[in-house]
Amino acid sequence: MPLLALDVRPLRNRDFRIYYTGSAVSSFGSVISFVVIPFQVAVLTESPFLVGLLGLCELLPLLITSFIGGALADYVDRRKLVLWCEVALTALTALLLLNSLGGTPQLWALYVIAALTSGLSGLARPSREALIPRLVTPEEIPAVSGLQSTYHNISSIGGPALAGLLLANFPLAWVYAIDLATFLVSLLCLSLIRAVPPPPGADRPSVRSVVDGLKYARKRPELLGTYLVDMNAMFFGMPMALYPFLALKFGGPQVLGLLHAAPAAGALLASMTSGWSARVHRHGLMVLLAAGVWGLGVLGFGLSPTLWMALLFLALAGFGDMISGLFRGIIWNQTIPDHFRGRLAGIEQLSYLSGPTLGNLESGIAAKAFGISGSVVFGGVMSLVGTAALAVWLRPFLKYDGRDGIERKRAEEAAHAAKSNEHTVS
C-alpha cells in the first residue's frame, strides 16, 4: 500500500500549500463553467458543429498568448502575472453571470467570452506551470504531479455533477455565481504567496527568446514525444463536444454531468494510487502505454449501448489520460532548466490544450459524416493508430530514462548561472 498511496509531503511547504489550495478551489468552479457554456450553445443552436466551433474560438487566442505568456514567465515575477490574469478571469466570469440573467443569453457573448478566457488562461498557465519547480525540489515533482492531478480530478467529478444538478433545477446564473466565488478564493491565496522573481540572467521577452525556446524543445526528443503523443490522442479521441447530444441519448441533462465526471473518476483513481510513479524511470514508455489505454477507452465509449457501459469506458479513458499526464508532467518539471521553464510551459500548453480544442472541432465535423456515436468510434480508432505510429517513430522517447534528465537539468542550470555571472562581471 505505501507504494500506491498518494504522497502528500510537498504540502509541508507553506507557499506550495497555499498555491495548491487556491488552485484546487478555482479549478472546481472553472470546471462547472466549462460544462455549462457548451450546454448553453447546444440549447440555443441544437447544432453539434456550433458547439465544436467553441473550440476554434478558444484555440486562436491560445496560439498567440501561449508564446507571450511563456516568454513573460521567464522574465517577470510569475506569481504577479498569474494574479493579474486571475483578476481578469474573475471579471469575465462576472460577465457570464450577467449574460445569464437576461431573458435569453446572447450567443455571440458566449463565443467572445470563451475566446477571451482562453487567451487569458494561455497567458497565465505558463507562469503557473513554471511556479511549481520553484516551490518544491526535483525529487518531490512526482508527488506534486499526483497531488495536482488529485484536485483536478476531484473538481472534474464534483464540478460536472453539481453543474448537472443545477442545470436541471436552477437558473444558469447560479452556476456562474459559484464559479465567481471560487475565483475570489484563488485571488486571496495568490496574494499570500511570496514573490517568485525570474532566474538570474533571464532573457527579455522577444521573438528571439521564443524561438530559442522552440529550438531547445526541438533538440530534446523526450519533450517532443510528450507533445506529439498527447496531441494525437486528444485530437482524435476528444468527444466532449458531443456530450450534450449523447446525454439526451442516455437520459437527459442530468446525465451530462455523469459523462463529464466519468473520465475524472478514472483519473482520480490513477492519481490517488500514484505513489508508485516515483519508482518508475521509463517515463516515455509509460506515456505511450497510457495513451493507448485512452484510445481503447474512447473506442469502447463509442460502441457502448447503455449508460453504465459508456461511463465505465470513459473512466478507463480517464485513467489512461491521467497516467499519461502524470509522466508528462514529471518529464517537464524534472528536466527543463528554470531559465527555459516558462517558454517551454507555453509550448506544453499548446500541446495539451490545442489537442482537445481541435479535437472538439474534429468530433463535431466527424459527426456530420458518421453520426454522433460513429464520430466517437472513428476518433478512438485513429487515436490508437496514431499512438502506435509515434511509438515506432519516436524511438528515443520510447527508451527515455528520467534519471538522465535530472542530471542534464542540473548541468544546464549550472552552466547558465556561470555564463550569467561572467556576463555580469564583464
Q: Per-residue pLDDT tens, the chain, 426 aa: give them.
A: 455 567 788 888 888 898 888 888 888 777 777 778 888 788 788 787 788 788 778 878 877 887 788 888 778 888 888 889 889 998 998 888 888 887 777 888 889 998 998 888 888 888 887 788 788 877 787 788 778 878 777 777 777 777 777 777 777 787 788 888 888 888 898 888 887 777 766 667 777 777 887 888 888 888 888 888 988 888 888 777 788 888 878 877 778 778 877 888 898 888 878 777 778 888 889 999 999 999 999 999 989 888 889 999 999 999 999 899 889 888 887 788 777 777 777 777 777 666 776 777 788 788 888 888 888 889 889 999 999 999 999 888 888 887 777 777 777 777 766 776 665 555
Domain range for 185: 9-425
Residue type, 316: L
Supply the angle between the helices 78-101 and 107-135 in degrees, to the nearest 10.
160
Q: Which cell is 8 given?
A: 502528500
Q: State how far the Cα of 288 lies from the Cα of 56, in Å rounded to an integer.
A: 27
Radius of gyration (Cα) for the chain, nearest Å? 21
Tell me if 258 is assigned to some domain.
yes
Q: State how far the Cα of 309 lies from the Cα of 301, in Å rounded to an integer.
A: 7
Tell me if 2 is assigned to some domain.
no
Tell me if 419 is assigned to some domain.
yes
Tell me if 1 is assigned to some domain.
no
Question: Cα–Cα–Cα angle for 204, 207, 212, nearest 5°?
Answer: 80
Q: What is the CATH number of the domain that holds 421?
A: 1.20.1250.20
The answer to whether residues 203 and 212 touch, using CB atoms and an 8 Å cutoff, is yes
Q: Structurally, how many domains does the chain consist of? A: 1
Tell me if 168 is assigned to some domain.
yes
Tell me if 394 is assigned to some domain.
yes
Cα pseudo-dihedral 306, 307, 309, 312, rounded to 10:
170
Q: Which cell is 49 given?
A: 458543429
Considering all CA atoms of the chain, what is the largest pairwise distance in Å, rounded to the nearest integer?
71
Tell me if 165 is assigned to some domain.
yes
Q: State how far the Cα of 140 lies from the Cα of 290, in Å rounded to an integer.
A: 22
The pLDDT score that the predictor gives to residue 421 is: 65
Distances (CA, A) of 172 to 54, 94, 102, 166, 181: 19, 13, 10, 8, 15
The pLDDT score that the predictor gives to residue 1 is: 44
- The burial of 308, by beta-carbon neighbours within 10 Å (0-12 exposed, 13-18 middle, 19 or more buried), is given as exposed
Length of the chain: 426
Tell me if 4 is assigned to some domain.
no
Query: Which residues, other chains included, contact 95 with Cβ-Cβ below 8 Å and sequence gap of 6+?
Result: 109, 113
Cα pseudo-dihedral 17, 267, 182, 56, rounded to 10:
120
